[in-house]
Amino acid sequence: MFVTSAYAQTAAPSAIEAHEGVAAGGGHEAFPPFNPEYFPSQLLWLAITFIAFYYFVKKVLLPRIGDTIENRRRTIAGNLEEAARMKEDADAAVAAYEQELADARARAHEIATKARDEARAKAENDRKKVEASLDGKLAESEKRIASVKASAMKDVGSIAEDTASMIVERLLGSVASKSDIAAAVKAARE
């Protein structure tokens, strides 16, 4: 076949092809999809384009898209891991903070207790000291009172004797003996 024009080829189909064309409504020539004249050309160019595309897909496109998707998966996994690690850190920080807070609170409590105890002890001590000094002064005062009283009481006897001897002298006109008066005063005081 040395015809070059496509129209010339399609215009001269075999009788077998022609009746297919008529059945399909093509009219005077073969229904093109069933025309075997072009099968070699279609097959050759399909093979060339399909195989070329297959190798392009296999060598370039799929590794490229696959790598991108894999890379994304890794990035997301890595980020999630990092987020988990950061959360752990944050949790640890919170725990440390709370521990410290609790410690500080305990220490504050301890300090407060100690201060209160010290203040109480000091107050107690002061009170005791004051009481002791007051007790001392009281004892001294009582001693003085007692001595004053004793000396006063001692004087009471002699005053009573003088008074009694004077009263007796005035009433009786005689002088009573000193010893009698002393015995009488003593008896009266007891």
Q: What residue ranges bind other proteins (CB under 8 A)?
A: 1-2, 4-6, 9-10, 24-27, 31-35, 37-47, 49-50, 52-54, 56-58, 60-62, 64-69, 71-72, 75
Q: Minimum Å distance from CB 21 to other proteins? A: 8
Q: Minimum Å distance from CB 26 to other proteins? A: 5
The nearer residue to other proteins, 52 or 183, going by C-beta atoms, is 52
How far apart CA 1 and CA 38 sit, in angstroms, is 13
Residues written for the chain:
190
The nearer residue to other proteins, 3 or 166, going by C-beta atoms, is 3
What one-character DSSP code corresponds to residue 25? T
Please say whether the beta carbons of 43 and 61 come within 8 A. no
The nearer residue to other proteins, 44 or 145, going by C-beta atoms, is 44
How far apart CA 63 and CA 70 sit, in angstroms, is 10
The nearer residue to other proteins, 1 or 187, going by C-beta atoms, is 1
Three-point CA angle 10, 11, 12, nearest 5°: 90
Q: Minimum Å distance from CB 76 to other proteins? A: 8
Helices (runs of H) and strands (runs of E) counted in the chain: 5, 0
Q: Minimum Å distance from CB 12 to other proteins? A: 12
Three-point CA angle 132, 138, 156, nearest 5°: 160
How far apart CA 83 and CA 77 sit, in angstroms, is 10
How far apart CA 10 and CA 8 sit, in angstroms, is 6
Q: Minimum Å distance from CB 17 to other proteins? A: 13
The nearer residue to other proteins, 39 or 97, going by C-beta atoms, is 39
The nearer residue to other proteins, 7 or 187, going by C-beta atoms, is 7
Q: Minimum Å distance from CB 83 to other proteins? A: 16
